Amino acid sequence: MAWATSCKVPISAQGSTGPLVLSTQEDDVQDDRDVPAGHERDGSPSPGSSGTRRAEDSRSAPEATGKRKGWRGLNWRELIVGGFLLAVAASIISGVLVEVITTHCLDREPPQEEHIRNVIVQEATLTLAGDVDAVIELFAANASVYDFACGSDERQRRWIGQENLRERYDQLPHFEYLEHAAIQVTINDGKYATATSHTQGGYYVNGEVITIPDESSCDGERWSLEKIDGTWKIVDFTYNVAT
């Protein structure tokens, strides 16, 4: 087989006696012109062709789309649901924070002191309303009320037991206003408590309002309470104490 000096491919024969056909560089160029872009001569796509790139792009499109998807890719339903969930979470968190702050951070009285204070406040409120039965329920069975009369022995008086207390409250004048102010509570062993307060009020005498304290009364008060069957009861109440 002979080689042409200007050829890149060997000379091929059609037969032993037929004419020789030379494949030259010019012929190769011409043949390449006849091949569609992006294909080999046998018709298959060439590597790196646009068809191959489109296939690769189509395979990588979901991955690329997933990487680019952010909040701008959400539809309106997803946005509504997301906003609702955020609102619920914020409400729960704010509720927990309020509970923590009110329970542990604020300067609140212990529950026992609140109960004792409420008993003392109720004694004045119910007395002002004239509800003697409800007032008596605030006292222990053998409780006492002592009018200290600002230290005057001649005017001092004590009532002991609920029946005597009822008599005392039945004979009280009609009050225009009445309250126990500046209540200070001290608890002993979780079962006993003492408290101090000041009387503020006014009662009617012959149509005239007499203010407490006045020249014949004092505003100091002393209390002793006991927790009986889980409820704080008054065991002693002393009023008209000089301060």
Residue 24 is predicted with a pLDDT of 44
The CATH code of the domain that includes 216 is 3.10.450.50
Q: Does the model's pTM come out above 0.75?
A: no
Q: Are residues 188 and 227 in the same domain?
A: yes
* Per-residue pLDDT tens digits for 52-106: 454 455 554 444 444 455 555 668 788 888 888 888 888 899 888 777 666 555 5
Cβ atoms of 7 and 22 within 8 Å: the answer is yes
Q: Are residues 211 and 115 in the same domain?
A: yes
pLDDT category at 107 given cuts 50, 70, 90 is low
Residues 6+ apart with CB under 8 A from 150: 216, 217, 218, 240, 241, 242
Exposure letters 173-197 (e unless 16+ CB within 10 A, then b):
eebeebbbeebebebeeeeebebbb
Q: Which of 28-37, 64-73, 78-87, 119-128 has the highest mean pLDDT?
A: 119-128
Top pLDDT among 6 and 226 is at 226
* pLDDT of 48 higher than 80: no
Is residue 178 assigned to a domain? Answer: yes
Query: Distance between CA atoms of 198 and 196, rounded to whole angstroms?
Result: 7
Q: Are residues 100 and 121 in the same domain?
A: no
Residue 42 is predicted with a pLDDT of 55
Cβ atoms of 185 and 192 within 8 Å: the answer is no
Q: Are residues 167 and 201 in the same domain?
A: yes
Total domains, the chain = 3
Residue 103 is predicted with a pLDDT of 59
Q: Tell me the percentage of the chain whose pLDDT exceeds 90.
A: 51
Residues 6+ apart with CB under 8 A from 197: 120, 180, 181, 182, 183, 184, 221, 223
Structural Rg of the chain based on CA atoms: 52
Q: Are residues 79 and 93 in the same domain?
A: yes
Residue 243 is predicted with a pLDDT of 81
Question: What single-letter amino acid sits at 128?
Answer: L
Helix (H) or strand (E) holding 35: none
User: 3-state class of 165 per DSSP?
Assistant: helix
The arithmetic mean of pLDDT across residues 143-154, rounded, is 95
Q: Are residues 57 and 131 in the same domain?
A: no
Residue 82 is predicted with a pLDDT of 81
Top pLDDT among 157 and 88 is at 157
Question: What single-letter amino acid sits at 172?
Answer: L
Q: Domain residues for 202?
A: 111-241
